[in-house]
Chain A
Amino acid sequence: MKKNRKLSAVAAVSAVALVFTGVGASSANAAGEKITFIQGVAGDAFYITMGCGIAEAAAKAGAVVTTQGGAKWDATVQKPVLDSVIASKPQAILIAANDKTVMQKPIESAIEAGINLAPTTNSDKPRPRFSAPNEIKTAISKAGTVILCT
């Protein structure tokens, strides 16, 4: 029994250590306006590039971007990620929605939680999506806006 307690203590301590290592890596978002970018899928070059553009535009607008994303291009994976991001109450959310049907209600629930909606894409006039700091500035000033990049 003593040995068991030791084992579970080791497990608990290593969990704590892991959590704090993670915090160290992300403590940058303490200052400035907080916005979150939800990638279509984590670790994909396309969304990393998109994230760079967002970070650059956000920096000009005086905001700091936290990037999150599901491990797969799968709306069932993305939904809980969006739920948690909404819970973290950022000033603005930018999301590359995996699926318009599945993500519809979760995004609506963001709006119900007092967050506005500002789509940035225009189907007949393609343009670089996140080269516009003004777009992000507006989003932040609205105290929490969901930007859809589809």
Chain B
Amino acid sequence: MSINGNPVSDFGLLDERQSFWQKLRKTQTAQIMLVLVVITAIFSLLAPDTFFTLFNLRNIFINIAMFAILGIGMTFVIITAGIDLSIGSMLVFSSVIGCKAIVASGGQGWGSTIAGLFACLILATLLGAINGWLVAVANVPAFIVTLGSFSTVLGLAQITTGGIDLSDATDVMVDRIGFGNVIGQIPALGVIALVCVIFGGILLHKTKFGLTTYAIGSNIEGCRRVGINVNRHLVLVYALMGLCAGIAGFLSLALYQQTTIAGQSNTALTVIAGVVIGGTSLFGGYGSMFGTMIGLLIPIVLQTGFIIIGVVPFWQNVVVGVFLVAAVYVDNARRAAAEGGGRSLKKRSSKESNLNAKGNK
């Protein structure tokens, strides 16, 4: 698929005329990657025996798994200039329904595990599609739709369980997925997340679906006028977000061995912060899967690093907050520079001339 000359090609990673490294260097991802490397180096120097160890790297790999999977869907949603605050609740409700399906099918083997998996995926995808329909067709702002479903879906999970966590994860899923290794010390959970992220990255950067996602984020009205079925695509994007929440719900059940009804209330904000730190614009049309993963890694590396060197836990909040604002500031400054002032000047001058025209009247 040739996309030269496409308006989206301005946004770095999609431009096929540049080499991969040229594209990467220009992005915020490269800068944020540098920050991650610096942080890792500092902690490795401060705690040489404990930070850069197999045990700790393995933990980081496991603890990022669910956030990474949620980050896939969130990157798509934010690139369309949307937002999804309901992922924590979708995760919890899908793991509740997963538990119910496991109990209904009985047994502790792969059969009921797969039943549980499908229950998680189908439910969360449907919930995501409902979010998408409300955003695209009913025209309710995404913030409100997902704030509403955050509360509604969590409520449904509480009604289903009476507010008490279910712990019906099968033995296989706990032993083989939650705490299992693929080869040697490589955790299954991390590998599943990595595979999902690679699929997500290909879907975003190499397919028509991904290109349409960028296009809608850049110029939704333009997309409508050239005949793209914007509503259908938005429903699909939010359904994809739901699917990711469903996978995360299943993995959460495997890792924690029970539903986490009281937990996950901050999950959406953690994931959104990671996506934004990774260089995806809240205004849509710009972002990358790789950036999201780096953005999600930073808070996790900071947390484990602070704990290992013995810093009071509150410092993580301070640093992540600073990073979030700094990332958006750098992103805005970089984009203004990349556009060479040409575009923004043009925009400004057309606005000014409009103002002048009005003033003249």
Interface residues, chain A, with chain B CB atoms under 8 Å away: 1, 3-4, 7-8, 11-12, 14-16, 18-19, 22-23, 25-26, 29, 36, 42-43, 66-77, 79-81, 83-89, 99, 101-102, 104-105, 109, 113
B167 at the interface (CB under 8 A from A): yes
B312 partner, pick from A15, A25, A72, A85, beta carbons under 8 A: A25
Asked whether A15 and B319 contact (CB < 8 A) given A4-B330, A76-B260, the answer is yes
Nearest residue, chain A, Cβ from B307: A84
B333 partner, pick from A4, A29, A66, A83, beta carbons under 8 A: A4
Cβ contacts A to B, 10 pairs, < 8 Å: A8-B34, A19-B42, A19-B46, A26-B310, A26-B311, A80-B63, A81-B307, A83-B62, A88-B308, A105-B257
Check B53–A87 contact: CB distance below 8 A: yes
Check B311–A25 contact: CB distance below 8 A: yes
A25 CB to nearest chain B CB (Å): 7
Task: Give the contact-size bracket for chain B.
Answer: 35 or more
B161 at the interface (CB under 8 A from A): no
Chain A residues with CB under 8 Å of B255's CB are 79
Asked whether A102 and B31 contact (CB < 8 A) given A19-B39, A70-B313, the answer is no
Chain A residues with CB under 8 Å of B304's CB are 80, 83-84, 87
Check A22–B306 contact: CB distance below 8 A: yes
Instruction: Tell me the complex Cα distance, A150–B358, Å.
Output: 71
A12 partner, pick from B34, B262, B327, beta carbons under 8 A: B34
Q: C-beta contact mask, B296-340 vs A, less than 8 Å → 1, else 0?
A: 000010011111111111110111001100110110011001000
Check A14–B326 contact: CB distance below 8 A: yes
Chain A residues with CB under 8 Å of B319's CB are 15, 18-19
Instruction: Tell me the complex Cα distance, A4–B333, Å.
Output: 8
Check A23–B256 contact: CB distance below 8 A: no
Check A80–B311 contact: CB distance below 8 A: no
Instruction: Tell me the complex Cα distance, A70–B260, Å.
Output: 15
Instruction: Tell me the complex Cα distance, A42–B317, Å.
Output: 12
Instruction: Tell me the complex Cα distance, A22–B317, Å.
Output: 12
Instruction: Tell me the complex Cα distance, A81–B300, Å.
Output: 10
B345 at the interface (CB under 8 A from A): no
Instruction: Tell me the complex Cα distance, A84–B39, Å.
Output: 16
Check B311–A75 contact: CB distance below 8 A: no
A80 partner, pick from B53, B303, B315, beta carbons under 8 A: B303
Interface residues, chain B, with chain A CB atoms under 8 Å away: 31, 34-35, 38-39, 42-43, 46-47, 49-51, 53, 55-56, 59, 62-63, 165, 167, 174, 178-179, 252, 255-258, 260, 262-266, 300, 303-315, 317-319, 322-323, 326-327, 329-330, 333-334, 337
Asked whether A15 and B257 contact (CB < 8 A) given A26-B309, A42-B313, the answer is no
Consensus secondary structure, chain A interface: helix
Residue among A1, A8, A86, A113 with most chain B CB within 10 A = A8
Chain B residues with CB under 8 Å of A89's CB are 49-50
Asked whether A84 and B59 contact (CB < 8 A) given A11-B330, A12-B34, A105-B257, the answer is yes
Chain B residues with CB under 8 Å of A104's CB are 257
Check A85–B38 contact: CB distance below 8 A: no
Chain A residues with CB under 8 Å of B313's CB are 42, 68-71, 81
Check A3–B55 contact: CB distance below 8 A: no
Nearest residue, chain B, Cβ from A16: B42
Q: Which 9 A-B pairs have the closest CB atoms?
A: A84-B307, A22-B311, A87-B56, A84-B304, A83-B59, A8-B31, A74-B263, A88-B308, A76-B263
Asked whether A85 and B309 contact (CB < 8 A) given A12-B38, A76-B264, the answer is no
Check B300–A80 contact: CB distance below 8 A: yes
Check A85–B307 contact: CB distance below 8 A: yes
Chain A residues with CB under 8 Å of B34's CB are 8, 12
Asked whether A88 and B50 contact (CB < 8 A) given A11-B326, A15-B323, A19-B39, the answer is yes
14 additional contacts, CB 8 Å, given A19-B43, A101-B257?
A: A11-B323, A16-B42, A18-B318, A22-B312, A26-B311, A67-B312, A73-B262, A80-B300, A80-B304, A84-B307, A87-B53, A89-B49, A102-B260, A105-B179
Instruction: Tell me the complex Cα distance, A72–B264, Å.
Output: 10
Asked whether A8 and B330 contact (CB < 8 A) given A15-B38, A84-B304, A101-B167, the answer is yes
Instruction: Tell me the complex Cα distance, A27–B130, Å.
Output: 52
Check B308–A84 contact: CB distance below 8 A: yes
Instruction: Tell me the complex Cα distance, A75–B50, Å.
Output: 23
Check A88–B322 contact: CB distance below 8 A: no
Nearest residue, chain B, Cβ from A80: B63
Instruction: Tell me the complex Cα distance, A102–B59, Å.
Output: 16
A42 partner, pick from B38, B53, B311, B314, beta carbons under 8 A: B314
A87 CB to nearest chain B CB (Å): 4
